[in-house]
Amino acid sequence: MTRGRFAFIIGCIGLLIGGAEVLRSPDVSASIVAASMLATMLRFATPLTLGALAGLLCERSGVANIAIEGMMLSAAFGAFLGAAVTKSLLIGVLAGMAVGVAMATLHAWLSVSLRVDQIVSGTVINIMAAGITGFLSTEVVRRQALVGAGLLPALRIPVLADLPVVGPVFQQQPIAWMALLLVPLTHLVIFHTPWGLRLRSVGELPRAAHAAGISVIRTRYTAVMIGGAIAGIGGAYFTLESVPAFEPLMTNGRGFIALAALIFGGWTPAGAWAASLLFGAANALHINAQQFGIPVPAQIVGMFPYLLTIVILAGVIGRVSPPAAVGTPYEAD
Amino acid sequence: MTQAVRARLIGGLIPSLAIVTALLIGGVIIWASGPRIDGPWFGIWFVVEAYQALIEGAFGSRAATIDTVLRMVPYVFTGLAVMVGFRGGMFNIGAEGQLAVGALASAWVGFTVTSLPLVIHLPLVLLTGCLAGAIWGGIAGLLKARTGAHEVITTIMLNYVGGQLAAYLLNGVLRDRSPLNVIAQTPKVAETARLPDLVPGLHSGVILVIGVAVLVWFVLWKTTTGFELRMVGINPDAASYAGVNVVRRMTWAMGVSGMLAGLAGAVQVAGVNYRSTLGFNVGYGFDSIAIALLGRNTVSGVVLSSILFAALRTGATKLQFRTQISTDIISVIQALVLLMIAADQIIRWIYRIGPAQTEADPVAASTAPVADSESGR
């Protein structure tokens, strides 16, 4: 993650918010536009950040993860079910994490132990998550008429939360705070602990790591499963922080965007977070375009983050390389 | 038995066993979701009843069979699309988006052009769908070949771009402006843009699908282009060394893949819906991958898998009607089939079949081109 790219991302976010300000209709005040752009951006960025961090742990260990979507979707359902049955939101979050870990374990078993192609394994998990949650939500939720246990309450930092415009930044729900906390934490773990060093070595040159006495298989399992837990928190966002209900396919591709954010951010926590914010800002503009009276059709604005992802991947704005061993199953002698 | 014959037998055996096993597990799920009435026999009867309803719903009457065939047609096209991608070393997750733009483009030509005879208009409509899909897929192929942008991500992103584009056009310039219309869809296409019925209720796209399947088989296995494509799929470095233009073949693979998906959209427009409606083609992306993998990336396999999935999806309605089990059970069964196909060790373990012969696997090669150089000490 170069400084230049980081600056580019921040610049893009500024451009989006600035664009909203310039294009807004005169009936909407500038501070309202800024405040709701900030608030919506942070809200959208939460599951993306968590999904990207989940993918980061996985891919840094050398396991490609296109299953973030499936992990988050099944965790969203697990979190909803856990909370609805026990009427405890905390148990809901834990249930989401447990489901995330379960799906991640399946991914690890398929791609690390059975050495199934990692992209195929991810696809299997995505299809499986869509099928099983769709089936269970009609069978269990509708039949038993389960009602959600409500949403996690916002936690506000006194004084700061009362500030104009930037107030919403200091008044967020617990999972959003957790995402913000996990970014520096993941950075510390990956780049400043012995385990993080081992993790990266396994992802870059597994044979050398093996020779140095590191268990490639165990490290990969651990990384993928911790990633699953983080994806599980991200999934819980959908049913415990966004809306208090489960809808089939409700993650709606956010897992794939998270993956794009991870790549965009050059496989670093800070970069992935910044990229998540950028996608959040683009989404905020998309959602609010009509409300702000912006004369560009919402659908055109809505294409922006996806087109940007393609442009980034094509290396137009500098290349980043993935961990060297991503996609390669490890065969011990 | 020679080794080749044995390998081929096992090649067909494993998908069959995966289907049987998935249906058995599906039966357990149906039993568990069914009513709790005394005795184990009721449970078994219930499962048998459910599957009987499924078969009846798919093939039980003339109308049901026609429904199944109609559903099979886009499955074969999109399954072949994913298969061609795989064979060329490209994982096309974006069949859904390519199908959508294909449907959109063909509907546009179908309702704006009105003064052409059928023999010109209909092919034009179908070719427009092909072209739109080919462009949508070709972009991802070109990006992969030229810049290394992974096609899994770019095709997914193009799905969303296509979705937004469709939403924009179907709510804007392409929208049916008649006062009775309340949803985002185009007007109906002209009579000359419609596939004639083969028998009442069944359009002649069925013939087209057979023709295209044969053509795909011929091109992939009987022409130099196809040989080069499969070579790139198995080992791009070796192909390049042998003088194959890898960039061109990768773009070609994704272009043809997108073209087939676009044709699926065009045939749905010209044969079934007679218009393009926002969001009517959800689900083909995942289903087509499942079909290609279950069919082991062979033309005959894709056709058989398409018939199976079409029958399951069509019959599911009757299953739900008779047993109150959600039609989503089919997605669960499909996921189980796919799991056991992807990890065929599971099937080999359950049924005590020997380990796989080491054969060139285009799927593995598509996503892990460095695997061989990495592990080959």
Q: Among B156, B327, B344, pick the best mutation site for testing chain A contact (most A Cβ within 10 A).
A: B156
Q: Say what the pLDDT of residue B373 is.
A: 34
CA atoms of A100 and A96, how far apart (whole Å): 6
Token pair in block for residue A244: 């208090």
* Residues with Cβ within 8 Å of residue B81, at least 6 apart in sequence: B92, B95, B98, B137, B256, B257, B258, B259, B260, B261, B264, B288
ipTM of the modeled complex: 0.85
How far is residue B89's CA from residue A255's CA, in Å, rounded to a whole number? 24
Q: Which residues of B touch A300 (CB under 8 A)?
A: 164, 168
**What pLDDT digit, counting tens, does each position of A245-283 carry?**
898 889 888 998 899 889 888 899 999 999 999 989 988
Tell me what pLDDT residue B222 has.
95
H-helix or E-strand containing B127? Answer: helix B118-147
What one-character-per-residue DSSP string does B73-124 give?
A: HHHHHHHHHHHHHHHTT-----HHHHHHHHHHHHHHHHHH--SS-HHHHHHH
Under a CB-based contact definition with an 8 Å cutoff, are residues A315 and B149 in contact? yes
- Cα torsion B350, B356, B361, B365: sign: positive
Average pLDDT over residues A30-52: 91
Q: Which whole-number Å values give the CA distances from B275 to B103, B105, B184, B261, in the listed order? A: 8, 10, 11, 17
Q: How far is B303 from chain A (nearest CA, A)?
A: 21
Buried b (16+ CB within 10 A) or exposed e, B294-306: bbbbbbebbbbbb
If you search the block for the tokens 């959208």, which residue do you land on?
A44
pLDDT at A104: 97
CA distance A77 to A85: 12
Tokens 């979050």, located at residue: A93
Tokens of B70: 């109609």
Position A168 pLDDT exceeds 80: no
User: What is the set of domains in chain B, with CATH numbers?
Assistant: 3-375 (1.10.3470)
> Using one digit for the tens of pLDDT, what is the confidence trace for A141-167?
777 778 888 889 888 888 787 777 777
Q: Chain A within 8 Å of B28 (Cβ-Cβ)?
A: no
Q: Answer whether B157 sits within 8 Å of A315, measured CB to CB.
A: no
CB A290 within 8 A of CB A283: no
In a mutational test of the A interface, the residue from B14, B151, B164 whose CB has the highest number of chain A CBs within 10 Å is B164
Partnered with residue A171 across adjacent β-strands are A156
More confident residue, B198 or A47: A47
Do the Cβ atoms of B332 and A131 come within 8 Å? yes
Question: A220-237 in b/e burial notation, b at 16+ Cβ within 10 A?
Answer: bbbbbbbbbbbbbbbbbb
A135/B326 CB distance under 8 A? yes
- The identity of residue B270, as a single letter, is A
At A1, is the pLDDT very low, low, confident or very high (cuts 50, 70, 90)? low
Q: Could you tell me which chain A residue has the CA closest to the CA of B293?
A: A120
Q: What is the pLDDT of residue B121?
A: 94
Q: Would you say residue A306 has pLDDT above 90?
A: no
Token reading at A259:
């993956």
Are A127 and B289 in contact by the 8 Å Cβ rule? The answer is yes
CA B101 – CA A35 distance, rounded (Å): 37
pLDDT reported for residue B368: 40
Best of A111, A123, A283, A331 to substitute, by most chain B Cβ atoms within 10 angstroms, is A123
- Hey, what's the torsion of the CAs at A29, A32, A35, A40, to 10 degrees? -120
Q: How far is B19 from chain A (nearest CA, A)?
A: 15
Task: State whether B164 and A302 contact (CB < 8 Å).
Answer: yes
* Three-class secondary structure of residue A172 per DSSP: strand
SS3 readout for B21-79: HHHHHHHHHHHHHCCCCCCHHHHHHHHHHHHHHHHHHHHCCHHHHHHHHHHHHHHHHHH
Element (H, E) at B203: strand B202-203
Residue numbers in A near B367 (CB within 8 A) = 64, 117-120, 327
Domains within chain A, CATH numbers bracketed: 2-12+33-153+168-313 (1.10.3470)
User: Given an 8 Å threshold on Cβ–Cβ distance, is A309 in contact with B289?
Assistant: no
Closest CA relative to residue B186, chosen from B102, B110, B277: B277
B86, B104, B143, B160, best to mutate vs chain A, most A CBs in 10 Å: B160
Mean pLDDT by 10 residues, chain B (377 residues): 71 87 93 78 88 94 94 96 94 92 95 89 96 95 86 88 90 86 88 90 93 96 94 91 90 95 95 87 82 92 95 93 90 91 87 66 46 33
Taking CB atoms and an 8 Å limit, are A310 and B143 in contact across chains?
Answer: yes
C-alpha to C-alpha distance for B184 and B164, rounded to whole angstroms: 12
Residues 6+ apart with CB under 8 A from B299: B80, B83, B213, B214, B216, B217, B220
φ/ψ (deg, to 5) at B194: -105, 140
In chain A, the percentage of residues whose pLDDT exceeds 90 is 53
Radius of gyration of chain A (CA): 20
Name chain B contacts of A309, Cβ cutoff 8 Å.
153-154, 157
Which whole-number Å values give the CA distances from A236 to A240, A243, A274, in the listed order? 6, 10, 21
A178-232 pLDDT, tens digit each = 999 999 999 999 999 999 999 999 999 999 999 999 999 999 999 999 999 999 9
Q: Is B202 helix (H, G, I), strand (E, B) or coil?
A: strand
Res A4 pLDDT > 90: no
Q: What number of other Cβ atoms are within 10 A of residue B355's Cβ?
A: 8
What is the residue-averaged pLDDT of chain A?
Answer: 89
Chain A residue whose CA is closest to B327: A135
Indicate yes or no: CB of A314 within 8 angstroms of CB of B143.
Answer: yes
Element (H, E) at B199: strand B197-199
Inter-chain Cβ pairs, chain A and chain B, closer than 8 A:
143
Does B25 contact chain A (CB < 8 Å)?
A: no
State both tokens at A132.
Answer: 């099983």
Q: Is the pLDDT of residue A321 over 80?
A: no
Q: How many residues does chain A have?
A: 333
Q: Are A273 and A281 in contact (CB under 8 A)?
A: no
Q: pTM of the prediction?
A: 0.89
- CB pair distance less than 8 Å for B335 and A132: yes
Instruction: Identify the three-state secondary structure at position A175.
Output: helix
Of A114, A309, A310, the CB nearest to B345: A114
Q: Choosing among A310, A311, A321, which should be mutated to test the B contact, i.e. which has the most B CBs within 10 A? A: A310
Interface of B with A in 63-102 (CB under 8 A): 91, 93
Q: Is B332 on the interface with A (CB under 8 A)?
A: yes
B331: which chain A residues are within 8 Å (Cβ-Cβ)? 127, 130-132, 134-135
